[in-house]
């Protein structure tokens, strides 16, 4: 059984809307509007345990999942949602050992999911042109213990990709179509190009660029997720849903 240690992150869960990502320091207290929690009390307890604040309110101390960290990412930019992230990882075949180019790094939310998926022997090359974004993302990745699997690059990916023979190029940026020639060059045969774009115009330009190179299976998708509320005599889909985040365009390099 895995126990909580000094220096680990825990997700303190009060209820569905109130969770806190906290580093465990034996000499610290974590203050909430429901009282404070002595973090030292957590050390040596199993993940998933209950802990009470000084006001007697119960919290649970969870080991953060990738999706928890994604949701807790400092958001300077729009973050890719879990509904899209899972599909992106599957479509780009991101798994242990893969070498993946990503741009832009942004808040590092997708970087984090990629890094977790390629470990222990794969690598993520993450391009970003804004130093302050890179710094924030680096903090998130280090905190998640995934720094060994990510190479952060302060470069403009529209000017070229330095890596060769990579398994996938994954883009979440304003002008993905400008990266298509570089992606073709950087990918290995059969490698996956994937772009996430909010607008139709981006999709049109990207698909058009892909058709100028030997990419096959060029397809665009959108994913809709709806929460379903299950309560006796009140079972129904949620009233408000996220209607759109972005389109996902995929292609696969072949050799001519």
Stretch 187-246 residues interacting with its own copies (CB under 8 A): 188-192, 198-201, 203-204, 207, 216-217, 219-230, 232-245
Binding positions for its own copies, 52-81, rule CB under 8 A = 60, 62-63, 65-67
Minimum distance between the CB of residue 181 and its own copies, rounded to whole angstroms?
17
**Per-residue x/- track, 124-163, its own copies (CB under 8 A):** ----------------------------------------
Binder to its own copies among 121, 142, 154, 212 (CB under 8 A)? Answer: 121
Binding-site residue total for its own copies (CB under 8 A)? 81
Closer Cβ to its own copies, 134 or 171, answer by number:
171
Q: Please give the residues from 37 up to 56 whose contact with its own copies meets the rule CB under 8 A.
A: 46-50
Q: Please state at what angle helix 109-118 crosses helix 131-143, rounded to 10 degrees.
A: 40
Binder to its own copies among 16, 56, 131, 132 (CB under 8 A)?
16
Distance (Å, whole) CA 36 – CA 97: 42
How is residue 194 written in tokens? Answer: 């994937």
* DSSP-derived pairing of the beta strands 187-197 and 35-38: unpaired
Shortest spacing between CB 136 and its own copies, in angstroms: 22
- 96 forms part of the interface with its own copies (CB under 8 A): yes
Neighbouring residues of 109: CB distance < 8 A, sequence distance ≥ 6: 69, 70, 73, 79, 80, 85, 140
Quote the least distance from Cβ 59 to its own copies, whole Å: 10
Reduced to 3 states (helix: H, G, I; strand: E, B; else coil), residue 7 is: coil
**Binding residue for its own copies, selected from 28, 34, 74, 82, defined by CB under 8 A:** 82
Can you spell out the DSSP letters for 138-176? Answer: HHHHHHTT-GGGEEEE-S-GGG-----SEEEEEE-SS-G
Among 85, 171, 173, 186, binds its own copies (CB under 8 A): 85
Distance, in Å, from the CA atom of 12 to the CA atom of 33, rounded to the nearest integer, reads 13
Nearest to 77 by CA among 132, 117, 125, 124: 132
Residue whose entry in the numeric block shows the structure tokens 């977790």: 116
Among 52, 93, 156, 163, contact with its own copies (rule: CB under 8 A) = 93
């Amino acid at each position: 059984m895995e126990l909580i240690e000094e220096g680990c992150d825990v997700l303190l869960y009060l209820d569905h809307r109130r969770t806190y990502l906290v580093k465990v320091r034996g000499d610290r207290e974590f203050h909430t509007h429901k009282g404070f929690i002595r973090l030292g009390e957590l050390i040596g307890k199993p993940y998933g345990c209950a802990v009470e604040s000084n006001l007697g309110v119960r919290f649970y101390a969870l080991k953060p999942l990738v999706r928890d960290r994604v949701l807790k990412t400092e958001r300077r930019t729009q973050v890719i949602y879990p509904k899209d992230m899972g599909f992106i990882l599957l479509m780009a075949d991101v798994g242990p050992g893969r070498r993946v180019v990503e741009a832009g790094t942004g808040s590092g939310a997708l970087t984090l999911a990629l890094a977790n998926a390629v470990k222990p022997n794969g690598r993520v090359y993450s391009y970003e042109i804004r130093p302050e974004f890179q710094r924030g993302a680096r903090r998130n990745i280090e905190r998640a213990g995934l720094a060994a699997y990510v190479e952060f690059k302060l470069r403009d990916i529209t000017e070229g990709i330095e890596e060769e023979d990579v398994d996938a190029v994954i883009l979440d940026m304003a002008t993905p179509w400008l990266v298509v020639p570089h992606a073709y060059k950087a990918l290995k045969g059969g490698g996956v190009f994937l772009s996430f774009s909010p607008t139709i115009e981006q999709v049109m330009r990207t698909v058009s660029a892909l058709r100028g190179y030997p990419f096959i299976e060029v397809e665009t998708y959108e994913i809709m997720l709806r929460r379903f509320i299950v309560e006796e005599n009140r079972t129904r889909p949620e009233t408000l849903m996220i209607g759109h985040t972005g389109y996902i365009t995929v292609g696969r390099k072949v050799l001519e």
